[in-house]
């Protein structure tokens, strides 16, 4: 039987030293009293059932499972409405662009704020934080311009559909009559 001194422990002082013998790797099984392998059961042989929880979430986007395509993509990985075969396609395309750029603009604005906050804490070569704020603003300015450009994409994509409706209004009315034709007014009626 080995003693504490043989294992590299120093019990003389109020603080204990770490053992000088390196610990065994976790992959090597440790045999406890009686040859019982306690490597998988850290409670020393007590009953400890393992509990696992598995959650499966299925999201349906455009009639298919959401995990098979990129976010917001239509069938076949294309942008919705990008074939421009009807006014609904043009509207779906413009709406997709608007929503996608809104999310990107928000993310880029938050990224710019975060970048500026991080760069403010970096001192210059002499160790001074004196000019760190202006330097951080100069760097983050370009991310803010990207966020502003994404906001313009939102605005312009909404303008595309508005202009399309205005320019092709008469054609859309002709096409729309075949689809949404009101009931014909009768010549004779109660009133």
Question: Could you tell me the residue ranges of all domains in the chain?
Answer: 80-177
User: DSSP for 5-50?
Assistant: TTTT---SSSSPPPPSSPPPPTTSPPB-GGG-B-SS-TTSS-----
Could you give the CA distance from residue 130 to residue 33 in angstroms, rounded to a whole number? 65
Task: With CA atoms as reference, report the closest residue to 81 among 157, 18, 145.
Answer: 157
Q: Residue 60: enclosing H or E segment and its boundaries?
A: strand 60-61
**Model pLDDT, residue 82:** 84
Q: Are 161 and 91 in contact (CB under 8 A)?
A: yes
**Model pLDDT, residue 128:** 86
User: Would you tell me how many other CB atoms lie within 10 Å of the CB of residue 3?
Assistant: 7
Q: Are 146 and 178 in contact (CB under 8 A)?
A: no
**Model pLDDT, residue 77:** 67
**Model pLDDT, residue 66:** 43
The Cα-based distances of 183 to 53, 118, 136, 180 in angstroms read: 59, 66, 66, 9
**Model pLDDT, residue 68:** 42
The Cα-based distances of 100 to 64, 110, 131, 146, 177 in angstroms read: 20, 16, 37, 14, 33
Mean pLDDT, each 10-residue run in order, the chain (191 residues): 55 54 59 55 56 60 47 62 86 94 96 95 87 93 96 95 89 65 65 60
User: Would you tell me how many other CB atoms lie within 10 Å of the CB of residue 172?
Assistant: 14
């Amino acid at each position: 039987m080995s003693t504490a001194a043989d294992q590299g422990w120093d019990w003389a002082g109020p603080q204990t030293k770490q053992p000088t013998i390196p610990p065994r790797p976790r992959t090597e099984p440790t045999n406890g009293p009686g040859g019982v392998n306690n490597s998988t059961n850290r409670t020393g042989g007590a009953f400890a059932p393992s509990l696992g929880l598995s959650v499966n979430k299925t999201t349906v986007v455009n009639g298919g499972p959401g995990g098979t395509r990129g976010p917001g993509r239509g069938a076949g990985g294309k942008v919705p409405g990008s074939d421009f075969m009807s006014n609904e396609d043009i509207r779906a395309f413009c709406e997709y662009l608007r929503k996608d750029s809104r999310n990107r603009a928000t993310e880029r604005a938050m990224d710019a704020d975060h970048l500026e906050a991080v760069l403010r804490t970096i001192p210059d070569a002499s160790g001074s934080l004196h000019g760190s704020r202006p330097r951080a603003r100069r760097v983050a300015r370009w991310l803010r311009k990207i966020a502003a450009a994404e906001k313009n994409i939102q605005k312009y994509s909404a303008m595309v559909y508005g202009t399309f409706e205005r320019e092709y209004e008469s054609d859309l009315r002709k096409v729309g009559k075949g689809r949404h034709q009101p009931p014909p007014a009768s010549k004779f009626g109660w009133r």
